[in-house]
Amino acid sequence: MLFIDLLQSIADGLLFGATYSLIGIGFTLVFGVMHKINMAYAAASVAGAYAGLTLLKLAGLPPLLVIIMACLAGAVFGLLTYVLCFWLIPLSHPLATLMSTVGMLLLIDEIVVHLTAGMPVNYPTVMGGMVSLGSFLLRGDLMFIFTIAVLAMAALMYLIYRTRLGLATRAVSQQPVAAQLCGMRLGQVNALTFTISGALGGIAGSLIGSAVGLLSPLLIAPLTVKGLIVTVIGGLGSIPGAIIAGLLVGAAENVFQFVRGVTERDIYVMLLLFVFLVFRPGGILGADPGRN
């Protein structure tokens, strides 16, 4: 029975880990093109999920569309983060953008707390029920989350590897100066990357909301930490790495929870990061270790 329970928790973790993958991709995309960390990303994602819910209620649409609404709102928040925290600050001050995004994180967090009076908000569960496979039970909502996350990742991959915009993004991430010489507008590509990552964040936020059943500002801090861990374990700037690492962290988290309980779970996730830092500092699919 123990073995089955263990497998069950791995399966649940893998399914939920898809949302970590999405958050990790968001961090890694921005890091790829700008070589900067956007600390406000997870906060903007959660805010996108909130705004999506509000839009849904205002327009009176069916609950399924909450994901699309959150995606749109997340894109707006992503662009806003770029304009407020990166646009005017010269690239020669790496600490300044780190600090401005931290300020943005606090600002978004406080706006959410302010508007919801600090109370958790119920989030529509898009799909319930269980699917039983022999002695396994797969949660319907988790399966749904996983499917949507995979679809979003596929769309992103198409965008990055099959369109002109993706070509520009990849060019800028490889060699900003050369890309600029070839006639690409750095500012435009950066702004678009932020918008895309924000849209992914909105999707991730709404998926997490519907899996947990509610949204709370308390989600922001752990999500920021987990997203950054996923980004580093996957290798900074690597999208496939972030996907694998997200699933890995999701599964590992659930196994640790199963073995050691919920209060100690996150300690072991952090230790997992240190194991990677010691033995594979470049991450699973990182380019070169220690690149700044």
Partner 1 sequence: MDFYLGLLQIIGVHTLLGLSAYVVLLTGQVSLAQAGFMAIGAYVSAMLTVLAKWALVPALLTGGAAAAAVACLVGFPALRVRGLMLVVATLAFGEAVRLFFFNFDYQIAMGGIKVGPLGGEGFRQIRYFPENGWTTFQVMVFIWLTVGVVMTALWWMDRSRVGAVLRAVGEDEVAAQSAGLNLTAVKVSAMTLGGFIAGVAGGLYAHYTTHIEQGNFNVLVATFAIAYPILGGLSNVFGTLAAVVFIQGFLIEGLRFLGDWRNLLFGALIVLAMNVRPGGLLDAQTMSKGLSALRRLLDPAYGSAAARQAIDGLKDAGAMFRRLIAKWKGAFGA
Cβ neighbors of 186 (< 8 A, separation 6 or more) are 172, 176, 179, 180
Q: 166: which residues sit within 8 A by CB, 6+ positions away?
A: 158, 159, 160
* Helices first, then strands: H and E counts in the chain: 11, 4
Q: Is 76 in the site for partner 1 (CB under 8 A)?
A: no
Question: Which two structure tokens, joined as six digits, stand for 62?
Answer: 């069916």
Cα-based distances in Å from 34 to 24, 113, 219, 266: 16, 30, 26, 29
Are 52 and 206 contacting, i.e. CB atoms less than 8 angstroms apart? yes
The single residue among 65, 68, 72, 96 that binds partner 1, judged by CB under 8 A, is 96
Taking CB under 8 A as the rule, does residue 60 contact partner 1?
Answer: no
Neighbouring-strand partners of residue 133: 136
- Which span (5-13, 187-195, 241-249, 258-266) binds partner 1, by CB under 8 A? 258-266
Q: Which is nearer to partner 1, 236 or 244 (CB)?
A: 236
Cβ-based nearer residue to partner 1, 85 or 204: 85
Min dist. Cβ of residue 250 to partner 1 (A): 16
Residues 268-287 that bind partner 1 (CB under 8 A): 269-271, 273-274, 277-278, 281
Q: Binder to partner 1 among 11, 18, 22, 37 (CB under 8 A)?
A: 37
**Nearest-approach distance from CB 7 to partner 1, in angstroms:** 26
Strands, DSSP E only, in 98-203?
Answer: 121-122, 130-133, 136-139
33 binds partner 1 (CB under 8 A): no
Answer yes or no whether residue 232 interacts with partner 1 by CB under 8 A: yes
DSSP at 275? H
Beta bridge partners of 123: none
Residues at the site binding partner 1, with contacts judged by CB under 8 A:
31, 35-37, 84-85, 88-90, 93-100, 102-111, 113-114, 221, 224-225, 228-229, 231-232, 236, 263-264, 266-267, 269-271, 273-274, 277-278, 281, 289-292
